[in-house]
Every structure is written in C-alpha cells, then in structure tokens.
Structure 1
Amino acid sequence: MPFMIGPAPIRRTKQYLSYGKLYIKDKIKIMSINYNEKGDHHQGARDFVFWYVPQIQYKNPNVQIVSFKNLTPSPFIRCFYENGKELIIDVDSKKKEEILSHCLQTIGKSSEQIQAEKMAAQKKENPSIFGVGCERACICMVPGQLPCPGIVKLPDHMRGKLKWNKD
C-alpha cells in the first residue's frame, strides 16, 4: 500500500484522523503556526504540527491552517477571527499535549456545543425523524404520506374499529 510509506503513516488513516478532539470555534477562519525546524524550545510546536494538525484539519474543513517554518525566534500560534481580530497563543517550550489542551480551552468549542451541532445535523440528515423540536412536527408533512386523521377522515378499511368489530 503506497499510502503507508513515510514517517508515521498512521497519521494518514481515517481512524486516526477521526480521533481529533479540537473543534475550532466558527468565528475563527485562519490558524497559523510559526516555528523553527531546529531548537529545543520549538520541539513541542514541531510535534504538535506533526501529530495534531492533520486531525485538526480533518475535523475543521472550513478553517485554513498555515505553517510558517524558520521565520520566528519563538514559536506561536496566531488565530484570525472573521471580524479581523487576532489571537496569539505562545507555545514556547511547551509539549504537544500542553499546546493541545491550551487550544481546547481557548479556541475550541465546548462539549455541549459539539453535541448540539451533532444533534442538529442528525435531525436535518434523517427525514424520518419528526416530532416536537424537529423539522417536521408530524409525519403528514412528508410528501406521499396520508394526511392527519384529525383533518381528513381515514378510509374505513384503514380504521381498526370498523375493520375488526363488525357487529
């Protein structure tokens, strides 16, 4: 398999990419990571880019992620909001796990937001879900279904009390 060649080929598997925890807030459109390829205090930023950035890109397809190498004396992450403001996160001498946990707190969505978005997406994807709080309040709103019995009377052959009780 040609995709299993290179350093740490596990990073390119869909299973690994789906394990990502960081869902970036909707207001953030661009995330840039600045680090050097040499130096001990840049090691955490290099590892973060190597291990976590593919997961972040997979989980956040609407966010542009840019890496700048060998342009700065100290590593940092800069996030650009849609209204033009910037957020700079210092990652100097931090480990990749520390950087990820800090990003989860500052630019990540809360678990409640993630669950609410998943439920909303599930309700929109599945047209068979109906009821209070859904797109359709009743099954009769789906094209091809019978109208509500409260509005239009069901035919006699579909009514149980006339079908089974022939007194």
Structure 2
Amino acid sequence: MPFMKGIEPIRRTLKYLQQGRLVLKDNIHIFSINYNTSGRTHSGIRGFIFWHLAQVQFKNPEVQVITFKNMTPSPFIQCYYENGKKMLIDVDDKDKDEIMDHLVKVVGKSKELLAREAELREKKDNPANFGYGCDKSCMCTVPGQVPCPQVVPLPNHYRGKFKWYQNNV
C-alpha cells in the first residue's frame, strides 16, 4: 500500500481524517495560515499543520484552506467571512493542541449545532424508510410488495421448509 509510506502514515487514513474536531462555521469561506518553516515560536503552528490541517480540510470541503510559508515574522491564522470581514487569530508561541482548542472555541461550530445538523441529515421523511416512527409501519403496505404473512399466508414455494425439506409435496 503506497499510501502507508512516509512519515506518520496514520494521517492518510480515513478514520484519522474523520476524527477531526474543527468544523468551521458556515459563513467562513477562506481559512489562511501564515507561518515560517523555522523558529521556536512557529513550532506550534507547524505541528498543527502536520497533524490537524488534513482533518480541517476533510471536515470542511467547501472552505478554501491556504498556507503561506516564510512571509511573516510571527505566525497567525486569518479567517475570511462571506460578508467581507476578516478575523485574525494570533498563534504565536502556542502548541498544536492549544491552537486546535482555541479554533474550535472561536471559529468552530458548537457540539449542539453539530448534533442538530446530523439529526436533520438523517432525513426521516424518506419514503423508503418504514417501521416505528415512520410514515409506513410495515414494508407490506408499499404497493408491489408481498403482503404480510400475518394477514395472508405465503405460498408454499416461497417458504424454505416446503422448498428444501419436503420431498413429496
């Protein structure tokens, strides 16, 4: 498997990408990171990019993520909103976990909002759903399906015990 080569190949697995905690708010369109490739104060943001940037991109496919290297004396993250406003987040001398916690708190969606969106995504009004809490209680109420064996007995050739275990029927 060629994707399991290189440093820390765990970062390229689907399970790892799905475990990302940062889901950006809907009105953020661009997420830019400015840092240097050397320097002690930039080590936290380099760790964030190494470990968490792929998760952020995976969880936010509609957001443009940009990294600018070696263009600034101090590291920062800038978020651009759809109404033209910008938010500047200073990440100078913070480690990767502090940066992630701060971003989740400031520009991330809350856990309650994520739970509500997941519930709405389930689409309980799908006509293919049946059972308790749905429009149809049983599959036999759908036109073209076999009626319930409770109401109308199944023909013998539909039943396995007559088909395979009875020789003289």
Number of residue pairs matched by the alignment: 143
RMSD (Å), alpha carbons: 2.6
Does residue 80 of structure 1 match 2:80? yes
User: Within 2, Cα distance between the matches of 1:30 and 1:125?
Assistant: 34
Match of 2:165 in 1: none
User: Within 2, Cα distance between the matches of 1:47 and 1:113?
Assistant: 28
User: Within 1, Cα distance between the matches of 2:40 and 2:4?
Assistant: 29
| Residue identity matched to 1:46 | R
Give TM-score, length-normalised by structure 2.
0.76
Long gaps (5+) in structure 1? 147-159
Match of 1:18 in 2: 18
Long gaps (5+) in structure 2? 144-150, 153-169
User: Within 2, Cα distance between the matches of 1:125 and 1:42?
Assistant: 50
* Alpha-carbon offset, residue 139 of structure 1: 3.7
Q: Percent identity?
A: 51
Match of 1:58 in 2: 58
Deviations 1:21-58 (A, max 9, x none): 11100000110000000000000000001100101111
| Residue identity matched to 1:76 | F
Task: Compare the two structures and name the one with the higher helix fraction.
Answer: 1
| Residue identity matched to 2:8 | A
Question: Where does structure 1 differ by over 3 angstroms across 4 or more consecutive aligned residues?
Answer: 124-131, 137-140
Q: Which stretch shifts more, 116-125 or 69-78?
A: 116-125
| Residue identity matched to 1:32 | S
Match of 1:101 in 2: 101
Match of 2:2 in 1: 2
Give TM-score, length-normalised by structure 1.
0.77
